[in-house]
Amino acid sequence: MQPVENQTIMITGATDGLGKKVALDLAARKAGVIIHGRNPRKGAAVVKEIREATGNPKITNYNADFSALDEVRMLAGKIRADQDRLDVLINNAGIGPGPDGSVREESKDGYELRFAVNYLAAFLLTHLLLSLLRDSAPSRIVNVASAGQQSIDFDDVMLESGYDGLRAYRQSKLALILFTFDLAAQLKDSGIMANCLHPATLMPTNMVLETDYFSGSIDAVSQGAEAVEYLAESAALDAVTEVKPALDSFGAQTPMPVAPGQ
């Protein structure tokens, strides 16, 4: 890969929590950082904060609400039009389980909301940016998943019966992991590495603080950021394109699958 200061790195959901910390760290290393968010005012404030903290002017903000696939398409179009290269795409944006007892919600396209935001949006964005990643190879895709997973009922993927927020979150994360397996296989020999990870357990971010499925936090946001940055930047992973097994459970109902060939 290019030296980090020559790279352009896009982080979805970088306006808060884990994504914001990763953006700050990579900006401090002088990378060009694309901050994706859904709230333009919040995005602009994060850009200003990171520029001031790091002295790095190469921080830009793009907005798209991932509960609408058309917004994902428009986002990808703008990135392709504006950017000469994309070295790393970090699919981090997500919504958590919500409070216990929450009612089922739908995306603007009529899909179960967590499945749409946490999985469908990342799937679509990745495919729409593949040509740019391919032109910038060697490049990387990092999918921020979770050790919290739930098997998917293919007769009720949209969770129309027996909805539960934790189940919705977990099945969306399993879908993202399975997507990463397929992607890694499809991109073999393309110079684009695709990996996913459980970043850390119960970091005190908005999605954890707003849920009552769990009480308290365990790991620091900086621990999760370190794990994401390792997959994004470590030279030890040049040419590694596989899914690592989870190290802990985070209430997982199914074990993190191991990559084909492992």
Ligand X SMILES: NC(=O)c1ccc[n+]([C@@H]2O[C@H](COP(=O)([O-])OP(=O)(O)OC[C@H]3O[C@@H](n4cnc5c(N)ncnc54)[C@H](OP(=O)(O)O)[C@@H]3O)[C@@H](O)[C@H]2O)c1
Give me the residue label for tokens 């895709």.
141
**Would you give the binding string for ligand X spanning residues 203-222, x where CB under 6 A is met?**
x-xxxx--------------
Pick the binder of ligand X from 126, 146, 171, 195 (CB under 6 A). 146
Pick the binder of ligand X from 8, 9, 19, 56 (CB under 6 A). 19
Q: How far is the CB of 173 from ligand X (least distance, A)?
A: 6
Stretch that binds ligand X, among 2-10, 37-45, 156-164, 187-195 (CB under 6 A): 37-45
Q: Report if residue 50 touches ligand X, rule: CB under 6 A.
A: no
Pick the binder of ligand X from 7, 15, 56, 195 (CB under 6 A). 15
Rounded to the nearest 5 degrees, what angle is found at the Cα of 41, between the Cα atoms of 40 and 47? 85
Q: How far is the CB of 37 from ligand X (least distance, A)?
A: 5
| DSSP structure string for 221-258 | HHHHHHHHHHHHH-GGGTT---PPPPSS-TT-SSPPPP
Task: Estimate the crossing angle of helix 40-54 against helix 17-28, to 10 degrees.
Answer: 30
Residue 157 CB neighbours (<10 A): 13
Pick the binder of ligand X from 1, 7, 9, 17 (CB under 6 A). 17
Pick the binder of ligand X from 59, 76, 79, 94 (CB under 6 A). 94
Pick the binder of ligand X from 54, 61, 67, 150 (CB under 6 A). 67
Q: How far is the CB of 33 from ligand X (least distance, A)?
A: 14
Which parts of 107-173 are beta strand (E)?
A: 139-144
Of 1 and 50, nearer to ligand X (C-beta) is 50
Rounded to the nearest 5 degrees, what angle is found at the Cα of 82, between the Cα atoms of 61 and 232? 65
Q: Report if residue 39 touches ligand X, rule: CB under 6 A.
A: yes
Query: What DSSP designation does 177 have?
Result: H
Closest CA to 92 of 213, 190, 251, 229: 229
**What does the block give as tokens for 220?**
């620091």
Q: How many residues bind ligand X (CB under 6 A)?
A: 30
Q: Report if residue 69 touches ligand X, rule: CB under 6 A.
A: no
Q: Report if residue 185 touches ligand X, rule: CB under 6 A.
A: no
Q: Which residues are catalytic?
A: 169
Give me the residue label for tokens 């397929």.
182
Q: Which of left, alpha, beta for 251 (phi over 0: left; psi -120 to 50: alpha)? A: left
Taking each continuous run of H as one helix and of E as one strand, the counts in the chain are 8, 6
Q: Which residues contact residue 113 at a Cβ distance below 8 angstroms, ignoring those fewer than 6 apart?
A: 67, 95, 104, 105, 106, 107, 168
Q: Report if residue 54 touches ligand X, rule: CB under 6 A.
A: no
Q: How far is the CB of 138 from ligand X (least distance, A)?
A: 24
Q: Report if residue 232 touches ligand X, rule: CB under 6 A.
A: no
Q: How far is the CB of 242 from ligand X (least distance, A)?
A: 19
Cα 73–chain centre separation: 17
Footprint of ligand X on this chain (CB under 6 A)? 13, 15-19, 37-39, 42, 65-67, 92-95, 117, 144, 146, 198-203, 205-208
